Structure 1
Amino acid sequence: MQEFADYAQYDALGLAALLARGEVSAAEVLHTAQCRADRAQPRLNALVRRMDAAADATLRAGLPAGVFSGVPYLLKDLMQAYAGVPMSMGSAALRDYVPAEDDVLVQRLKRAGLVIFGKTNVPEWGLVAYTEPKAFGATRNPWDLTRTPGGSSGGSAAAVAARIVPAAGANDGGGSIRIPAAYCGLFGLKPSRGRVSPGPEDGEVWMGAACEHALTRSVRDSAALLDAVAGAAPGDPFEIAPAGSFLTATQAPPPRLRIAFSVDSPLRTSVARDCVDAVHATARLLESLGHHVEEAAPRIDGMALMHAYLMLYFGEVAAQARELRALVAHARVVQLEPATRALAAIGEAISAGEYMRSQHRWNDFGRALGTHFAQYDLYLTPTTADLPPRIGELAPTPLQEHLLALAARLRAGGLLRRLGIVEQVAMRNLARTPFTQLANLTGVPAMSVPLHWSDAGLPVGVQFMGRFGSETLLFALAAELERAQPWAERAPAE
């Protein structure tokens, strides 16, 4: 079978339209995606698992008449369970974990007609903003193979940027959609808390900080995918009222908006000139489109927010480590990476009272952001504070790994906290990505838009946050920016 020569020129809706008109077959499009994956994998290491037999079975069974009928798709190997297919979550400890049923998200993706043929690489348990798991190896950024595509949706970002697929699964608990989008020149929207059901396995993930969606090349694909997967499932803790069609929202310009912006890191750490310039250039573009833009930031203590985020991080990892044996009978904590075991040890040393006092601060952040949005429609920042890091740049040093492994083995979580080694490693990572966690703890939607490239040709994203439930407005603005300053034709060398 020959490859479809023009495959890389189309987004997912474009491919779906060709398929619906019979100008190309689903088998031909799938074959093309598989061949592109074969060629890119040695360079990028974007995939951890192929599901070719499942994809072939999908085609033989007959595709549903969904909006994406016949379009190839990749799942992220974290939180996106596909019945009967291992979901390792970037971890050697979970290589043999096989979910018994599809996630609600996956059920809805299948119903939309997507043909799932693989799963993408993630850092262990999605815990960092670079994708270098020891179990599966580092994923590389198609724009510069010496750099990371980000994390934790790094494999999906690399696959979409390399035109293996026009869209791929992603999720976001602290920036894991938006950071890879920024590093790889893609569009990435984190929906509002509860917009997409995490069921049936979970009611809320990471106390509601984490949510599901996708990485795409075009705004309209992201909108149509959210139309396909949004909505509560039976047993979900709450339901967001329907907002109308997100795809329809991309087809008309938004009203004149009041947009606040800031380029200052919430951690008072440095922000690279390229990231600052991207925001200033975006502000000028917004003004040329008729929007009001001014510099202003919500009154939020950035260090307090990061402390609250780290407490969530420690507690959740400790809980997940205890739950390992419930997933795989022979899985052991010692199979986890040293940094993950150290995080779990710290989590075990934190009292329930300390954890809950930190969680109560989330309300403070949400109220402050709500006050900000009483005056402004959107909040604009850099997505990240710097260009994509080099492979290995943010990983613990060998000495740090040794100390982390030793302390974890001794269950010395309290000592680890006093020494501050884990916090040092965590803060070094967060200093590169200090702008994204606010949307997770407050539950509001946020998106990274690829409007800028550095002089060296690396993508630089800008982030917009909106009020809770305002995805329609974000999509309308993103589509307006995409029309004014298109990015889809920019592609990394193959």
Structure 2
Amino acid sequence: MSTLLQTDALDLAARIARRDLSVREATESAIASIERQNPTLNAVVAERFDAARAEADEMDRDRPEQLPPLWGVPFLLKDVNLYSSVLPTRFASRFFASAQPRGDSAMVRRWREGGLVVLGTTNTPEFAGDFTTEPLFYGTCRNPWNVGVTVGGSSGGAGAAVASGMVPLAHGTDLGGSIRIPAACCGVFGFKPSVGLNPLGPWWDEIAGGLDSDHVLSRSVRDSAAALDLTAGPDCGTRNGRLAPTGGFLKGLDTATGPLRIGLATKTAYRQSAGAAQVAAVEKVAHLLDAMGHVVVPYEFPVEAQFGAWFDSLWIVEVLHLVEERARELGRQPERDELEPMTWAYIEQARRLSALDLLEARVNMTTVAQAIGRSMNEIDLVLTPALGEDPAPLNTLTFAACGSDLQTWVERGYRFAPFATPANLAGQPSAVLPVSLTASGLPVAVQITGRPGADALVLRLSKALEDAIGWAGLPE
């Protein structure tokens, strides 16, 4: 068990490659860690432990001569977006409780071909639609740093699993911060790639009008780069795909960036300031960047980044689509208790949308993206807090805690996590890196965002900062 608790994925895979550790031993270690911690954290909501053991034994018997960098590493899938042939995707919804495995999405196929051993699926809010991971179907996911505070959303189960040492990396999705918010709450590294870099097919070409990017949460920057090397690049039929750089992301991590011009913002697009701990973390990183020879200058989000209600139109129609697709499969509509109250509220809103509403939302998204692009004409990257405040107590961000009122829920959620969504609207690569602790011992993180396609640059600077900060990575 201590192997996983003290290492990252690449180190674990290197031990397996040297035969210091078998794939079966690594798998058993992860399973033991899950079984010990999951009753408290509720990060893993479905498992395939016996099948994973059998796969691990087969991998130990039939080792290829050249092992991929992450070969033999235990892994967890998130319960939304992607499908697999080994576990159902249930979207944390009672209406999907009896769903069956559909087949491997392109990214899942690439992860498995790269030697990752899928152990199960992780907790998430219903349809990944919340800032916190407290779904009614699976129950609350708890933070290993403090079980009374949120793990964030929507990849909260992944964040808790990686932070606690259950696995060294896990699948996450990011439509409005859903990789980066849990990474910040749980003190792990979270990276949202440029839109189109990782394929979402074959069932989707894009998700939520292009807002979403899937990738992983990890113990280290280099693990994230190695995982990106497995998955990046267009799949068959992808219209909007991006190519990975020659040589890959992992090999390029230690390439010198040269002096960069980095914009610093501690206020949101709505000109609201982040909390004291978040501002202090950004200032700490700014001093480090200055010492590295970079130039840090003030930055303001353009006024166009103050997105409106049209933003929700881009993703709630996909929830409606999933529900209607499931209804056709079952031959019936969902009962009232098979979807959460917030999902019903958004479905009703989605049914009122017209084709013109959806087109205008996409036009608005393009306007935001262009404005953000212009605002970065004279800078290479933007440094901000990851969150607007410290990780919130449980039962303060949910729809019910906000009086079951959508507007109240939106305002509360974006006060908590106001810095993530602009990168989704602009299709930018964006990383969250833990840098310090609050007075009460909770992680504090910063966010680094680049222009679309600058994924390698964001990862390289993240790695340089990780080396300088020396983040411990695990709660005591």
What is the match of residue 33 of structure 1? 30
CA distance in 2, matches of 1:169, 1:450: 18
CA distance in 2, matches of 1:174, 1:426: 12
Q: TM-score, with normalisation over the residues of structure 1? A: 0.91
CA distance in 2, matches of 1:248, 1:193: 22
Q: How does 1:245-284 map to 2 (within 5 A)?
A: 245-284=248-287
Greater displacement, 323-332 / 271-280: 323-332
Shift of 1:313: 3.5
SS at structure 2 position matched to 1:249:
coil
CA distance in 1, matches of 2:366, 2:44: 38
Q: TM-score, with normalisation over the residues of structure 2? A: 0.95
CA distance in 2, matches of 1:330, 1:20: 51
Shift of 1:270: 4.9
What is the match of residue 474 of structure 2? 491
Equivalent position amino acid for 2:53 in 1: D
Shift of 1:333: 5.5
SS at structure 2 position matched to 1:439:
helix
Give the unaligned 5+ runs of structure 1. 402-420
SS at structure 1 position matched to 2:77:
strand
Q: Which residue among 40, 44, 59 is the counterpart of 1:43?
A: 40
Are 1:178 and 2:180 matched, yes or no? yes
Q: How does 1:24-423 map to 2 (within 5 A)?
A: 24-62=21-59, 65-244=67-246, 245-303=248-306, 305-329=307-331, 332=334, 334=336, 335-397=338-400, 400-401=403-404, 421-423=405-407
SS at structure 2 position matched to 1:285:
helix
Give the unaligned 5+ runs of structure 2. none
Aligned-residue sequence identity (percent) comes to 35
Q: How does 1:413-492 map to 2 (within 5 A)?
A: 421-487=405-471, 489-492=472-475
What is the match of residue 412 of structure 1? none
CA contact (8 A) 1:383 1:463 kept: yes
CA contact (8 A) 2:216 2:224 kept: yes
Greater displacement, 220-229 / 69-78: 69-78
Alignment root-mean-square deviation, CA:
1.7
CA distance in 1, matches of 2:311, 2:124: 20
With over 3 angstroms needed to count, the CA separation of the structure-2 counterparts of 1:53 and 1:327, relative to structure 1, is farther
With over 3 angstroms needed to count, the CA separation of the structure-2 counterparts of 1:328 and 1:197, relative to structure 1, is farther
SS at structure 2 position matched to 1:246:
coil
User: Over residues 448-479 of structure 1, what are the superposed CA-to-partner deviations in whole Å (9 max), with x where a residue is unaligned?
Assistant: 11112212111111111101111110111011
Greater displacement, 155-164 / 433-442: 433-442
CA distance in 1, matches of 2:401, 2:463: 45
Shift of 1:438: 0.8
SS at structure 2 position matched to 1:316:
helix
Shift of 1:331: 5.9
Across the two proteins, how many residue pairs are aligned to each other?
469
SS at structure 2 position matched to 1:143:
coil
CA distance in 2, matches of 1:399, 1:131: 15
Shift of 1:343: 0.6
With over 3 angstroms needed to count, the CA separation of the structure-2 counterparts of 1:21 and 1:347, relative to structure 1, is same
Equivalent position amino acid for 2:445 in 1: G
SS at structure 1 position matched to 2:365:
helix
SS at structure 2 position matched to 1:452:
strand
Shift of 1:302: 3.8
CA distance in 2, matches of 1:84, 1:25: 22
User: Over residues 295-332 of structure 1, what are the superposed CA-to-partner deviations in whole Å (9 max), with x where a residue is unaligned?
Assistant: 112423343x1433223243333333323324544561
CA distance in 2, matches of 1:142, 1:396: 23
CA contact (8 A) 2:269 2:302 kept: no
CA contact (8 A) 1:253 1:480 kept: no
Shift of 1:86: 1.8
